[in-house]
Structure 1
């Protein structure tokens, strides 16, 4: 049995099926995607700081002997971190990311030269530097949308507790003035109305249930958006960190 048989099922691009979208909270792959995206921000921030400090110090000291070895070390560590990213994508996203083949019989000088000028190295650096972008987008979606959805789902359990206010509380009244005008026999007939909204509080179980229902819809929509983001991240990982076998597999699948 090949090792690929033990991998989780890759997350497919959303097909637009309503049934498939509604089933997103029931699929284990959704939560593997969520774990991957949750790790993207701290890892991306770590990579960005490492590259900024490493290249900054290395370039500033390039005129002395210590600067060049430091830059080479930064590139070597970047390749190692790219290997970690391949394993994460394989384990959590279910994509197969094969590292580019490199000869092992070269001398130290040849390996160092390949490290410095090789496309594989700079693709890894570009991937690590851009990981922060995926991390920020994922962190924003999780904290703003998914956390809000979970909070709405908890409303029926907390709305009637003493000291708990669930609802809308505006610092200033929000006034809505819908207007409609119709021309009739040379005259202009109009209807105006004004509505003022100052606050609204959930006070009944029916209202709390309605809020929780909206939370279910928001959670399903958010999980599908996060699945799409995880799919894009997996394709991006294969594109930048994969080898020739990955490129051939993608072409055959297309």
Structure 2
């Protein structure tokens, strides 16, 4: 029994510890970091374009604005498929815009296709993934890396490395047992006001905690990237691509 379990445990441990040395981790991180600025740009473009197009439709000028916004969203969707191919290893299909028939019929075919509106919805909604990925990368990872490097700079003169709180943190562990109609218990108070790294041993403890935080942060980012990969496949596969032929 133990011989079958050991390889599984060892494999899981290698998978957990090996995340910083896998190229996939950094491709996922790059994709998530790009999702934040692109998501903002998509949100502004789609919301402004559609609102102006619908709002000004009564004076005709809104119609071309609306159509240009939809076409622009499809172009952006093509860009997203390229990014997904190279950064997420996700190959998505696409279709060329209808080329035969009257212009009106071709416009109706594009505007009534579900994939068109899935693309329009996908672009601004990507900001949610980008915001979460950016927050993880700039808080969890940067904090973990700074903790990991504490042994290198904790002895710098004039530098305080540790924990400082505006008010003491109190923990109240307690244990109560009912005995002979009485409640017998024990309660202790543990207070943390400030803690400073003073020795190399303290610095190494902080560094180990930082390494663990970095590993957890990278796994969380990979999990988020897998979720975004699935969402991208659902929303962008087999959509129209104005600048390319069928995929």
TM-score band, normalised by shorter chain = 0.7 to 0.9
Whether contact under 8 Å (1:181, 1:188) holds in the other structure is yes
Aligned 1:25-174 pairs, distance under 5 A: 25-100=20-95, 102-174=97-169
Q: Mean Cα displacement is larger for which, 91-100 or 189-198?
A: 189-198
* CA deviations over 1:214-249 (Å, ceiling 9, x no partner): 1111111111111111111111111111129xxxxx
Match of 1:162, SS state, is: coil
* CA deviations over 1:136-165 (Å, ceiling 9, x no partner): 221222122112111111211121112221
Match of 2:57, SS state, is: coil
Q: CA RMSD in A?
A: 1.9
Q: Distance in 2 between matches of 1:179 and 1:219?
A: 33
Q: Distance in 2 between matches of 1:96 and 1:185?
A: 70
Q: Distance in 1 between matches of 2:86 and 2:221?
A: 17
Match of 2:170, SS state, is: strand
Whether contact under 8 Å (1:101, 1:243) holds in the other structure is no
Match of 2:164, SS state, is: strand
Q: 1:89 to 1:186 in 2, by over 3 A?
A: same
- Asked if residue 210 in structure 1 is aligned to residue 209 in structure 2, the reply is no
Whether contact under 8 Å (1:179, 1:193) holds in the other structure is yes
Whether contact under 8 Å (1:179, 1:191) holds in the other structure is yes
Q: Distance in 2 between matches of 1:113 and 1:182?
A: 74
> Shift in Å at residue 186 of structure 1?
5.8
Q: Which runs of 5+ in 2 are unaligned?
A: 1-10, 240-247
Whether contact under 8 Å (2:176, 2:186) holds in the other structure is yes
Q: 1:235 to 1:188 in 2, by over 3 A?
A: closer
- Asked if residue 237 in structure 1 is aligned to residue 232 in structure 2, the reply is yes
Match of 1:192 among 187, 199, 221: 187
Match of 1:224 among 213, 219, 228: 219
* CA deviations over 1:177-201 (Å, ceiling 9, x no partner): 3232344566554333222211000
Whether contact under 8 Å (2:172, 2:187) holds in the other structure is yes
Q: Which runs of 5+ in 1 are unaligned?
A: 1-15, 245-254
> Shift in Å at residue 103 of structure 1?
4.2
